[in-house]
Amino acid sequence: MTDSSMTASPAEPRKVEPRKVSMIGLGVMGGAIARHIAEAGHELTIFNRTPQRAQKWAEDNPGLAHRIAANPAHAAQDAEVVITCVGNDDDLADVVLGPNGVFRMLKKGGVFIDHTTVSARIARQISVEARDLQIHCVDAPMTGSQIGAENGTLTLMCGGRKDAIEAARPVMESYSQRIVHVGKAGSGQIAKMANQICIAGNVAALAEAVRFAQASHLDMDKVYEAISGGAAQSWQMDNRWQSMDQDEFDFGFAIDWMRKDLGLSLEEGRGLGVSLPVAALIDQFFADIQAMGGGRLDTSAIIKRLPKKGRK
């Protein structure tokens, strides 16, 4: 059994007609996306709200950044495409709609792509503002984890008009392998919420299965071999069974971020009149891990709330 992060090979850079692209947000995901954009031949401008991170990115990736912007508006100046990957609704509203926001400078006919996982409400609000400015707008939360960003194999769930998706596609193809137009503005965010609900349920059930097998003193590799080829198989099982068994929880997507995402899902569910009892319960399980000081561990650390027990 191997972790996909050890076996996946980087995607070949995809060469397209060069565009002037600005990347706002250089965290784990955004920083990797920025590299693919530059390597595809686009003229890259970068900005991060913590200036030191932008400077470090430029030093770590010599020659890839055409310039480092002073603020989001400066990043949008002369840009054809602006991409954001920040933290939450407030962060996104500030960098896009604030006094020094992207929409102060992004020109008519420009393309705005947001990869932040946020509420459908803010995605729709930004889309309305973009429409009034005659800017193509796409909400495109992503899945594929850190390794997907590094290898340029992300899946993007896109909301917005068809013409906006097509205008954004040539740049998005430089760092993704699947681009799905889900529906109108905000639909990408709804799809991402459904994705996170599935992941939460899957990883919680996997944690119980691992502890159950451990308590029975079974050969964990043999159990994995036996059950991973049938209906129980999942990405979480293939990539986290062994690491859960070995108490290793440093694989990228943190519990703090999952709780943010589940909170968005539960809020949207209430607005739709949809009950999400399993998601609500697992959200509390993740809260238990946060209370133990494990908020920055990856989501598979949910197993830590289940003590190991030996069979007598």
- Catalytic residue ranges: 192
**Residue spans of beta strands (DSSP E) within the chain:** 20-24, 43-47, 65-68, 81-84, 111-114, 136-139, 142-143, 154-159, 176-183
| 25 vs 23: CA distance, rounded Å | 6
CA within 13 Å, CB half, 217: 3
Sort strands 154-159 and 142-143 into parallel, antiparallel or unpaired.
antiparallel
Burial tier of 6 (Cβ tally within 10 Å: 0-12, 13-18, 19+): exposed
What is the token pair recorded at 209? 């299965």
CB of 127 within 8 A of CB of 186?
A: yes
What is the token pair recorded at 300? 């598979």
Query: For residues 63, 67, 68 and 69, what is the CA-based torsion angle, rounded to 10 degrees?
Result: -160
